[in-house]
């Protein structure tokens, strides 16, 4: 595999990729913008440990001093967590400017997918994907995560779309762009803090091996784009739906009153919802990320078994 001149792959990750062992990518926006310090660093390290415990190698993705990084050491994670929102939030459009300026940045779902694909990583675990924002008919506020899913060969394991979004329009957008939404042991689309919503997924698959087989078939046929694997938050850690909906509605009103929009919307909403729920939503967020890491590891293990040493999916990329 040809290495991109702007990309640095952590030695542990590089060795795993060279030996065709399973690797799971992780985003860094969740560290800098998704949780307060020190819970963000503690959670990032717990997620990496969870992936290792389930047979895969973690690769936390970020931009460090103008270099695309697939895999960070503890010092790198600590820096992102401690500096928090002072670290630029980087989506696809921002990557060349952060790199050219020699700056550091925390990667969103979209940017993480870009860098993971460059490194040859096919499975990515996160909390929840972005989507179509409420009121998008007027604002046209649609997350770049959705367009990245339409064009980049990475499977994203998440707890569905964040419930601060318009879930119906998010599903419509994904369907239009040919992105399958797979429910892991569920027919309902998870809504991040809660295990289900009023909307259905495209396919229910109850076994990581079946999800890996669908990924392998898709990319071996040369079909572009990724896949959403929606993994419900465990019931023991889920938020009561009425409570979380009330907090989201209040946070949305406050965001509108304060003129919060664009890339600042999601960090504002997550922080405000956490405040309104007395920190309970943060606890749920942490548990669902750990749960997604476990499933992503199982899928990566199964996918690598299919690829073996004759990686047909990579050959078509």
Annotated active-site residue in 27, 50, 78, 196: 27
DSSP letters, 190-245, are PBTTBS--SSB-SEEE--HHHHHHHHHHHHHTT--S-EEEE-PPPGGGPPPHHHHH
Annotated active-site residue in 50, 89, 162, 196: 162
pLDDT tens figures, 172-183: 999 999 999 999
Q: For residues 257 and 58, which has the higher predicted lDDT (pLDDT)?
A: 58
27 secondary structure, DSSP code: -
Domains along the chain with CATH numbers: 7-237+284-315 (3.40.1790.10)
pLDDT tens figures, 109-132: 999 999 999 999 999 999 999 999
**For the chain, what is the mean pLDDT?**
92
Show the tokens assigned to 180. 């399958």
Q: What is the pLDDT of residue 2?
A: 52
What's the pLDDT band for 309 if we cut at 50, 70, 90?
Answer: very low
Is 162 annotated in the active site? yes
Phi, psi of 278 (to 5 degrees): 65, 30
Q: What pTM did the predictor assign?
A: 0.91
Q: Kindly state the greatest CA–CA separation across the chain.
A: 56
Number of CB atoms found within 10 A of residue 157's CB: 28
């Amino acid at each position: 595999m040809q290495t991109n001149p702007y990309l640095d792959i952590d030695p542990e990750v590089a060795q795993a990729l060279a030996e065709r062992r399973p690797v799971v990518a992780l985003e860094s926006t969740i560290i800098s913008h998704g949780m307060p310090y020190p819970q963000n660093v503690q959670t990032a390290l717990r997620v990496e440990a969870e992936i290792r415990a389930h047979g895969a190698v973690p690769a936390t993705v970020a931009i460090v001093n103008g270099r695309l990084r697939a895999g960070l050491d503890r010092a790198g994670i600590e820096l992102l967590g401690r500096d928090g929102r002072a670290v630029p939030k980087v989506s696809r459009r921002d990557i060349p400017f952060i790199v050219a300026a020699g700056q550091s940045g925390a990667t969103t779902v979209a940017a993480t997918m870009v860098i993971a694909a460059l490194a040859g990583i096919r499975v990515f675990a996160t909390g929840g994907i972005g989507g179509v924002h409420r009121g998008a008919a007027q604002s046209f506020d649609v997350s770049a995560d959705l367009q990245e899913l339409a064009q980049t060969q990475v499977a994203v394991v998440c707890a569905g779309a964040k419930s601060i979004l318009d879930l119906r329009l998010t599903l419509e957008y994904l369907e239009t762009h040919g992105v399958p939404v797979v429910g892991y042991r569920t027919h309902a689309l998870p809504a991040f803090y809660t295990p289900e919503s009023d909307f259905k997924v495209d396919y229910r698959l109850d076994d990581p091996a079946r999800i890996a087989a669908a990924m392998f078939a898709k990319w071996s046929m040369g079909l572009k784009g990724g896949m959403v694997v929606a993994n419900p938050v465990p019931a023991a850690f889920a938020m009561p739906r009425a409570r979380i909906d009330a907090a989201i509605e209040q946070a949305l009103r406050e965001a509108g009153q304060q003129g919060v929009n664009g890339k600042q919307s999601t960090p504002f909403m997550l922080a405000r919802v956490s405040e309104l729920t007395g920190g309970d939503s943060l606890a749920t967020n942490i548990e669902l990320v750990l749960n997604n890491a476990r499933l992503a590891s199982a899928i990566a293990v199964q996918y690598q078994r299919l690829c073996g040493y004759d990686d047909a999916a990579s050959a078509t990329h």
